[in-house]
Amino acid sequence: MFKRILRPAVLAVCISLLAVSAFAAAPKYVIYFIGDGLGPTQRMAAELFYKMETGNPDAKLVMNTFPGSALVTTYSDNTLVTDSAAGGTALSCGFKTTNGYIAKLPDGSNIKTIAEAAKENGYAVGIVTTTRLTHATPASFSAHNPDRDAENEMAIDQANSGFDFFAGGGYRHFVAKDNKMGLKSKRKDDVDVVKMFTDKGYKTFVGDSTRDAFRAYTPKKGDKVFAALTSSHLPYEVERLHSTMKENKLPSLVELTEKAIASLDAQDKPFFLMVEGGRIDHAAHAHDPMSVIMDTIAMDDAVKAAYEFYKKHPEETLIVTAADHETGGVALGISMDSKGYFLNLKALENVKVSAEDNLDRYYNKLAEKEKDVEKRHAAFIKYVEENWALTDRTPGEDKILMDAMIVQDKNQDLSMEKKVRYGYSYTPTMVAVTDLISQRARIFWTSFVHTGTFIPASAIGKGADQFTGFIDNTDIPTRMAALMNVKLSDSKKTDSKALLGKTFGPQEKYSKIPYNQ
């Protein structure tokens, strides 16, 4: 026997070839969809509504046709019911953390996101959302903070990220307090984060007045884009489709996704794109079935756009769809009598506005304008007939609406702590209307907040077989990173007994609630 010694030069070539081979085996294009609050029932309701509207019993959501499928656990480090910050961190970093933490471990140390790891490895990176860009899920991929509400700080993190594409809402956290654009700001300082982007060479689109310029923009190699088109979140899809107000005619999620894909693809390098359908969660918090369904279908339209790209690059593309948690504890076909076993989604067809952005405050605004109680009640009934299809009411339904208006009339004279409110301080009239339309559709809600149920994930493309079975949310970015040959933060040994005690024993309260404001 004898030993064969490789010369250093030969060894270097071999290592180089192995590296090239590994990179060649990695998916070149990774598109990661996250439906905030998108549980299995929300996904099913959207598909059933889609079948009804198309008149095609075989119609399916595109994401429901993907060959790889999984059920995913979502609990956080400190509770069985995660919030979007801890859920987003698990989906972006592969670690459990405390509710409210953004890309940080419970001890406060930073952990690398899959987007940051991709950028380090030469990928172009994009973030798209229907929420504020500084909201929990997009922030979990592009910022680090122990407080999900520190959106002004996380805006600066995003400006320093070096990512290639941002599109969503929330310019109020990027424009300076006294900005020359005349835009409302939530900043308490004169830091102009938009200028930070501009100084770094980004093409910026800020405010709804830039929507046409954003639509007309043709991406080119070397371009970086920052688009914050609304002060807070983008409009719900149901209002974007029905409203004649110009601010609701903003680009849809599919438009944002198509622009992101075109922009990242123009860079002639691998790319990673995270797309969030963020307002599914907000609609489910408000028990708004039509907005849940329409925003889920809007997200699926974006998935379809990614799928069209995949068909051009089937050997190089990976698409994964997931969710950070379920919201609302929604069930389909619920009946409190023996006449169940059916849904009536047709009851939702003529709903024209969202609950949270329109209905919740509508009666209060009406009360400011119309002081005559009977006229005010009549105007509200007309409103719900025209916008929520609540016609042909039963005496019981009329009583529910009237009782809600009476309670809200009394609320006008009460201090904030004595007002009758529901969920995230939702008004009695909103809850009455959403409950009635849900009952007509045979949809039932068990919670105003998140639940601990499994969420569905699906995948297609290179490495899709890694996203199957019963898995945890932390498995998704971990497996994605392995496929992409990028490195997340090093694993830290977890004290399993401590985790069990925190998560499955007596749980800490997490009292912050402005998740969707």
Q: Per residue in 397-455, pLDDT tens?
A: 999 999 999 999 998 887 777 888 888 899 999 999 999 999 999 999 999 999 999 99
Give the pLDDT of residue 341.
82
**What was the pLDDT predicted at 416?**
73
Q: What percentage of the chain has pLDDT greater than the value 70? A: 89
Tell whether the model's pLDDT for residue 5 goes beyond 70: no
315-331 confidence digits (pLDDT tens)? 999 999 999 999 999 99
Residue 211 identity (one-letter amino acid): R
Predicted TM-score (pTM) of the model is: 0.92
pLDDT in the model for residue 14? 44
Split at pLDDT 50, 70, 90, the class of 507 is: low
> Are the beta carbons of 74 and 452 closer than 8 angstroms?
yes
In the predicted model, is pLDDT for residue 495 greater than 70? Answer: no
SS3 for 201-265 is CEEEEECHHHHHHHHHCCCCCCCEEEEECCCCCCCCHHHHHHCCCHHHCCCCHHHHHHHHHHHHH
Determine the 3-state secondary structure of 419 from DSSP.
coil
What's the alpha-carbon Rg for the chain, to the nearest Å? Answer: 24
The predicted pLDDT at position 74 comes to: 97
Query: Rounded distance, CA 296 to CA 47, Å?
Result: 9
Between CA 106 and CA 100 the distance in angstroms is 10
More confident residue, 308 or 243: 308
pLDDT tens-digit map of 272-307: 999 999 999 999 999 999 999 999 999 999 999 999
Give burial (CB, 10 Å; 0-12/13-18/19+) of 422: middle
pLDDT of residue 490: 87
Dist CA 214 CA 211 (whole Å)? 5
Amino acid at the residue 512: K
CB-count burial class (<10 Å; 0-12, 13-18, 19+) for 217: middle
The mean pLDDT of the chain is 91
Tens of pLDDT, residues 459-488:
999 999 999 999 999 999 999 999 999 999
CA 61 to chain centroid, in Å, comes to 17
Mean of pLDDT values over 224-245 = 92
Identify the band that residue 237 occupies on the pLDDT scale cut at 50, 70 and 90: very high
Distance from C-alpha of 513 to C-alpha of 53, rounded to nearest angstrom: 35
Rounded alpha-carbon distances, angstroms, from residue 277 to 88, 295, 517: 13, 7, 16
Q: Distance between CA atoms of 264 and 313, rounded to whole angstroms? A: 14
Contacts of residue 384, Cβ cutoff 8 Å, sequence gap at least 6: 390, 401, 433
Residue position matching structure tokens 């702590």: 417
103: tokens are: 């890309």
pLDDT at position 2 = 37
Say yes or no to pLDDT of 509 above 60. Answer: no
Does 169 have pLDDT greater than 50?
yes
User: Which residues, other chains included, contact 179 with Cβ-Cβ below 8 Å and sequence gap of 6+?
Assistant: 185, 192, 194
* Domains located in the chain, CATH noted: 21-330+449-490+497-504 (3.40.720.10), 332-444 (no CATH)
